[in-house]
Amino acid sequence: MSPATPKRPSATTSTGRVPASAPARRSIFSYSVAASYIAKDRPFDPNTHVFHFNPYNRLQQSSPTQKKKPSQRPESGQDAFFVSRVGDTGTVALAVADGVGGWMESGVDPADFSHGLTEYMAAAAYEHGRPLGKNKQIKPTANPPLSARRLMEIGYQAVRHDRSIEAGGSTAVVGLLSPDGGLEVANLGDSGYIQLRLNAVHSASEPQTHAFNTPYQLSMIPPNILARMAAFGGAQLSDEPRDAEVIRHDLRHGDVLVFASDGVWDNLFNQDILQLVSRAMTATGAWQASTKDAGAAVAVASPAQLKQLTDPETKEGANVITLQSLIATQITGAAKAASVNTKLDGPFAKEVKRYYPQETWHGGKVDDICVVVAIVSEEPSPESDAPIKSKL
């Protein structure tokens, strides 16, 4: 990530705050989500390297008993992602995982771990609170409320018990977006997220690293490698979901969330991403110039206007272009271009100079790239006493 990453503001309530004398007004929050991705050794095509989220269909991930073969995975290399509804709660879960490339030296495909992790998390989110087995009379298990860290733990333990995955490691950033406008993120490693609000960086995660270019990582180390380390020395990093940093914020109408792997953060500064998002949001009218308050740079389009820009059902053609997919593909394309630019120094090059002043690294850092974008929409509930449920 950029060394100039701003400090996160305290996670105080930023929505739904009304004077004590005014009646509480409940809102419905919905989330329009799209993803874009590209492996480091492949050319990027925004028309094909894109995923449109539909909360009622499981288009992205397979079930644990029908795992995707490597040839069926998105063309994202060692990066992986998922987006899923959380049972019938109205919450949306999403994550980005980056397989640790160092495992290739041990003959292990790092993509197996990262893609397995996201597949298991997707299944756990989608099936959360549902009846077990085919008997619909069976009541849902008394699971504790699903948190971002808990979802990461479920996926991690499932991978560790998957005999088809012999070893590997991955970073992970997991987000839960609730129908009452809450955001919870568990971040382990140097993937991360940024929250943009009205032409500004409102909050951003900070990378967790043991040392330069050595992020925190979930790992599964087989006994033979452990024995080799004991005999010849050396160590293999293995962090736990409990080590993930947990961040909570309240969301507002018109917020834009960007979750991404380090293929983005090593090549684009936060201000680069803000510029890309601001350009797309203002060009489409999602963020609008405001004349009411000279201190406000932009205002947010109405829920109806924002729906027109983010709802795939209002678009025509096989390759659906929504505001969230436009932003996701533009960020992926910009990160891809920066990664192969040998002249313009990005965040990674600046970090190299910081830790190793004698090195002559210039330009970007070639890597797999994965981006998940969520646009927040808020509208008053038609029934103030009705339970909050997301209109995804």
Beta-carbon neighbour count of residue 40 at 10 Å? 18
Number of compact structural domains in the chain: 1
pLDDT digits (tens, 9 = 90+) for 25-70: 578 899 999 999 999 999 999 999 999 998 765 444 444 445 667 7
The CATH number covering residue 47 comes to: 3.60.40.10
Tell me how far CA of residue 282 lies from CA of 160, 220, 349, 353, 374, in angstroms: 45, 45, 31, 36, 16
Instruction: Give the lowest-confidence range in 8-17, 26-35, 91-100, 195-204.
Output: 8-17
Residue 21 lies in a domain: no
pLDDT digits (tens, 9 = 90+) for 366-386: 999 999 999 999 988 766 554
Identify the helix (H) or strand (E) that includes residue 134. none
Residue 389 lies in a domain: no
pLDDT band for position 221 (cuts 50, 70, 90)? confident
Instruction: Give the lowest-confidence range in 5-9, 187-191, 225-229, 354-358.
Output: 5-9
Task: Extract long-range pairs of 144-147: CB within 8 Å, 24+ residues apart.
Answer: 146/86, 146/89, 146/91, 146/93, 146/176, 147/176, 147/184, 147/186, 147/246
Residue 293 lies in a domain: yes
Q: State the Cα–Cα distance between residues 377 and 307, nearest whole angstrom.
A: 8
Tell me the whole-structure pTM to 2 decimals.
Answer: 0.85
Burial 278-301 (b: 16+ CB within 10 A, else e): bebbeebebbbeeeeeeeeebebb
pLDDT of 266 above 80:
yes
Residue 307 lies in a domain: yes
The range of the structural domain enclosing residue 42 comes to: 27-132+141-380
Mean pLDDT for 7-33 is: 52
CB 129 within 8 A of CB 143: yes
Residue 386 lies in a domain: no
Residue 385 lies in a domain: no
Residue 364 lies in a domain: yes
